[in-house]
């Protein structure tokens, strides 16, 4: 993966049967890079970059990467630190202890991690990392997109990082298969699109997961939902209502779905189906399924529809689909309508009514030639609640609707809003000002809530409208 120096300077003698040579100089293990801003502060300057390249080439000639890969990260960092210190000593390089530590950390990131992206991965205030070729790296921070000074050495380094990510989950990205979805070890979602489809170099997009798992309490603190609205969502999750989380890209659908699953009873058997596994369920009885792309011969593909159909044979009590985007919508509706109450999924749509239309279109994608009324009856009989998430123009994320499907009127699916977000204006800094409120309508799922003994709690949060 990395080139070797044709004529390296004198370095510690290498024994290729072991990971690294015996080094006399001792260097403390490289610490994980601290969180920092998006600029180049704390990164290698031009002089250190040149030193790093020389030391890096010598390191590759000195160590056995195959053996090194068998060690845990802490041991690898210690070993690399020792060899780098020895190389610096033999080259008579003059650098400070802080610069040496920074050099070791940077080399470890190249060998083990995501190279120049590691400092961004370490920051918990970043929601998305968007790499548009080796020279342009953007981040989303606090709802705003900004360009960083982070750069890759060249296109090959970027492709090496992409390959390392996707190969960890048994996938590949190359000219024959230039589009790939994957995930990082922490569950962060990754999409790669490589040349020749990406004209300006590989495009790598990482949707980061926060280390601290978001809960409804935290969403309340962020203003995404009111305390009464959070209680309503808790009741919906607990009382086995079939739920679809709807929203646009980056609106927080997966986060909200994770929050809803916190209120599933620990004794229930849950099966999740995802393109790239990112849900973080805490219940003890969870089976996680993931789709698979075709192999080099174009066979072996396992689609979302295959997973949803198969999980019906696995005695599920709840089925959770990470994202409904195709013909599997029909199979999920069938499951919701045949005893798997409390099933959930997310869908891309801008409002609850559009969510219904999107489901109709997805069912049509499966080749079904059912009358429109029949499809809508299936939707109305399967889904209880649509929860709409939105990302507002100021970058904030809000739950804008909790909408109930109450049946059919003629050929139209009838909806009623139970809980909405009302925009009232904006403050002096341009932030949206609004409030969450109940509409005062009595839920049609009242009897199911009563069955689970939560009717008093629901009445309390909705106020006098139900009296």
3-state secondary structure string across the chain: CCCCCCCCCCCCCCCCCCCCCCCCCCCCCCCCCCCCCCCCCCCCCHHHHHHHHHHHHHHHHHCCHHHHCCCCHHHHHHHHHHHHHHHHHHCCCCCCHHHHHHHHHHHHHHHHCCHHHHHHHHCCCEEEEEEECCCCEEEEECCEEEECCCCCCCHHHHHHHHHHHHHCCCCCCCCCCCEEEEECCCCCEEEEECCCCCCCCCEEEEECCCCCCCCHHHHHHCCCCCHHHHHHHHHHHHCCCCEEEEECCCCCHHHHHHHHHCCCCCCCCEEEEECCCCCCCCCCCEEEEECECCCCCCCCCECHHHHHHHHCCCCCCEEEECCCCCCHHHHHHHHHCCCCCCCEEEEECCCHHHHHHHHHHHHHHCCCCCCHHHHHHHHHHHCCEEEEEEECCCCCEEEEEEEEEEEEECCEEEEEEEEEEEEEEECCCCCEEEEEEECCCCCCCHHHHHHCCCHHHHHHHHHHHHC
The pLDDT tens digits of the residues spanning 214-250 come to 788 889 998 999 999 999 999 999 999 999 999 998 8
pLDDT at 39: 41
Taking residues 131-135, what's their average pLDDT? 93
The pLDDT tens digits of the residues spanning 318-341 come to 999 989 998 899 989 988 988 889
Other beta carbons within 10 Å of 189: 21
Q: Give the gyration radius of the chain's Cα atoms.
A: 26
Confidence at 447, pLDDT banded by 50, 70, 90: very high
Please state, in angstroms and rounded to a whole number, the distance separating the CA atoms of residues 25 and 27. 7
Confidence at 212, pLDDT banded by 50, 70, 90: low
**Residue range 119-207, CATH number:** 3.30.450.370
The pLDDT tens digits of the residues spanning 185-206 come to 777 889 999 999 998 889 999 9
Contact by Cβ (8 Å): 380, 411: no
Confidence at 451, pLDDT banded by 50, 70, 90: very high
Q: Is 336 exposed, middle or buried (0-12, 13-18, 19+ CB in 10 A)?
A: buried
Please state, in angstroms and rounded to a whole number, the distance separating the CA atoms of residues 119 and 6. 32
Q: Among 98-107, 280-289, 449-458, where is mean pLDDT lowest? A: 98-107
Higher pLDDT, 349 or 38: 349
Q: Pairing state of beta strands 203-207 and 286-290?
A: unpaired
Taking residues 112-123, what's their average pLDDT? 84
Q: State how far the alpha carbon of 169 is from the alpha carbons of 7, 187, 293, 451, in Å.
A: 37, 11, 11, 43
pLDDT at 359: 94
pLDDT at 99: 80
Contact by Cβ (8 Å): 273, 322: yes
- Residues above pLDDT 70, as percent of the chain: 87
pLDDT at 288: 93
pTM exceeding 0.85: no
Position 317 pLDDT exceeds 70: yes
Considering only the top CATH level, what class is 216-466?
alpha beta
Other beta carbons within 10 Å of 329: 29
Contact by Cβ (8 Å): 308, 320: no
Position 466 pLDDT exceeds 50: no
Confidence at 433, pLDDT banded by 50, 70, 90: very high
Other beta carbons within 10 Å of 455: 18
Q: State how far the alpha carbon of 241 is from the alpha carbons of 25, 347, 349, 448, 451, in Å.
A: 63, 17, 20, 8, 12
pLDDT at 320: 94
Residue whose token pair is 């939105």: 390
Cα atoms in the 13 Å half-sphere on the side-chain side of 330: 17
């Amino acid at each position: 993966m990395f080139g070797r120096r044709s004529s390296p300077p004198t370095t510690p003698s290498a024994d290729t049967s072991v990971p690294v040579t015996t080094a006399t100089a001792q260097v403390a293990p490289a610490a994980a890079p601290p969180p920092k801003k998006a600029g180049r502060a704390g990164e290698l300057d031009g002089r250190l970059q040149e030193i790093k390249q020389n030391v890096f080439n010598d390191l590759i000639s000195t160590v056995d990467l195959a053996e090194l890969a068998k060690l845990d990260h802490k041991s690898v960092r210690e070993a690399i630190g020792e060899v780098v210190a020895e190389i610096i000593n033999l080259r008579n390089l003059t650098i400070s202890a802080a610069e040496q530590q920074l050099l070791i950390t940077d080399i470890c990131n190249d060998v083990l991690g995501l190279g120049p992206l590691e400092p961004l991965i370490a920051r918990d205030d970043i929601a998305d990392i968007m790499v548009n070729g080796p020279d342009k790296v953007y981040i989303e921070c606090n709802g705003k997109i900004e360009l960083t000074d982070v750069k890759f050495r060249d296109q090959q380094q970027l492709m090496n990082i992409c390959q390392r990510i996707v190969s960890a989950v048994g996938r590949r990205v190359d000219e024959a298969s230039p589009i790939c979805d994957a995930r990082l070890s922490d569950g962060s979602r990754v999409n790669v699109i490589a040349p020749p489809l990406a004209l300006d170099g590989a495009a790598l997009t990482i949707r980061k997961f926060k280390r601290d798992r978001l809960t409804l309490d935290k969403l309340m603190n962020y203003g995404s939902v009111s305390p009464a609205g959070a209680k309503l969502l808790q009741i919906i999750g607990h009382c086995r209502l079939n739920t679809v989380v709807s929203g646009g890209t980056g609106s927080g659908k997966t986060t909200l779905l994770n929050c809803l699953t916190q209120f599933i009873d620990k004794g229930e058997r849950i099966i999740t189906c995802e393109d790239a596994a990112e849900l973080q369920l805490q219940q003890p009885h969870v089976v996680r399924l993931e789709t698979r792309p075709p192999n080099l011969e174009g066979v072996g593909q396992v689609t979302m529809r295959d997973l949803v159909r198969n999980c019906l044979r696995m005695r599920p009590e709840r089925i959770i689909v990470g994202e409904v985007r195709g013909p599997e919508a029909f199979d999920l509706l069938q499951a919701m309508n045949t005893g798997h109450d409390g099933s959930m999924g997310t869908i891309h749509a801008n409002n609850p009514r559009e969510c219904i239309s999107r489901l109709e279109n997805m069912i049509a994608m499966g080749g079904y030639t059912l009358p429109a009324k029949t499809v809508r009856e299936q939707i109305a009989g399967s889904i209880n609640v649509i929860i709409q998430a939105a990302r507002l123009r100021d970058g904030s994320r809000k739950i804008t609707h909790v909408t109930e499907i109450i049946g059919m009127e003629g050929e139209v699916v009838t909806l009623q809003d139970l809980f909405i977000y009302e925009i009232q204006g904006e403050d002096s800094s341009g932030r949206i000002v609004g409030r969450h409120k109940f509409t005062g309508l009595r839920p049609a799922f009242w009897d199911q809530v009563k069955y689970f003994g939560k009717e008093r709690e629901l009445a309390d949060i909705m106020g006098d409208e139900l009296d």
